[in-house]
C-alpha cells in the first residue's frame, strides 16, 4: 500500500510540474555547464564583472515572445542595448516538457527539458547547453 501511495504522489507531482506555465517574468539564477571536466557557472562569472545583470528580467510572454529586459537593471546603456537586441527576435514554444527558443522562427533553435520546482524553472539543454535556472518574480 505504501509503495502504491508513493507511486501515485510521484505521478501527481510530475503531472503538476509539467502543467505549469513558463509565462511570466523571471530572474536568471544560474547557467551551469561542464567545461574540460569542470563544472562552471557562466551567470555567476557574469555577475562578478557586471553585478547589474542580477536585475535583468527575462520575460516569457503568452504570445510566444521571449525577451531580455534590462531597462531597470542599472547596467550601462550600451550593454543594455546590445543585450536587448540579441533577444529582440527570440520566440519560445513548449511541447510537453520540451522548451525551445529560436530567433529564426524555429528554423534553428535551442531545446531544453524543462521542469518546475516551486518558483524555479530549471531548463536542461538537450544538446549540451548546460542547465539554466530561473526564479519567478
Question: What are the cell numbers at 106?
Answer: 524555429
pLDDT of residue 89: 97
Residue 14, domain member (yes or no): no
Number of C-beta neighbours around residue 121 at 10 A: 25
Q: Band the pLDDT of 99: cuts 50, 70, 90.
A: very high
Q: Does residue 16 lie in a domain region?
A: no
Domain extent at residue 79 = 22-136
Cβ within 8 Å of residue 13, ≥6 positions away: none
Q: Is residue 57 part of a domain?
A: yes
Overall size of the chain counted in residues:
137
Give the SS3 label for residue 21.
coil
Q: Any idea what the Cα angle at residue 47 is, between residues 58 and 131, rounded to 5°?
A: 60
pTM attached to this predicted model: 0.84
Residue 15 or 100, more confident: 100
pLDDT digits (tens, 9 = 90+) for 4-44: 444 444 444 444 444 699 999 999 999 999 999 999 999 99
> What is the number of structural domains in the chain?
1
Indicate whether 9 belongs to any domain: no
Domain membership flag for residue 6: no
CA-atom Rg of the chain in angstroms:
17
Average pLDDT over residues 42-71: 98
Amino acid at each position: 500500500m505504501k509503495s502504491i501511495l508513493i507511486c501515485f504522489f510521484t505521478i501527481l507531482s510530475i503531472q503538476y510540474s509539467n502543467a505549469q506555465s513558463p509565462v511570466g517574468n523571471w530572474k536568471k539564477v544560474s547557467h551551469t555547464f561542464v567545461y574540460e571536466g569542470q563544472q562552471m557557472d557562466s551567470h555567476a562569472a557574469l555577475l562578478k564583472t557586471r553585478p547589474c545583470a542580477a536585475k535583468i528580467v527575462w520575460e516569457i510572454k503568452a504570445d510566444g515572445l521571449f525577451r531580455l529586459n534590462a531597462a531597470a537593471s542599472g547596467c550601462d546603456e550600451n550593454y543594455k542595448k546590445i543585450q536587448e537586441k540579441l533577444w529582440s527576435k527570440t520566440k519560445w514554444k513548449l511541447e510537453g516538457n520540451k522548451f525551445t527558443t529560436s530567433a529564426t522562427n524555429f528554423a534553428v533553435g535551442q531545446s531544453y527539458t524543462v521542469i518546475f520546482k516551486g518558483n524555479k524553472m530549471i531548463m536542461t539543454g538537450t544538446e549540451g547547453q548546460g542547465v539554466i535556472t530561473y526564479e519567478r518574480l
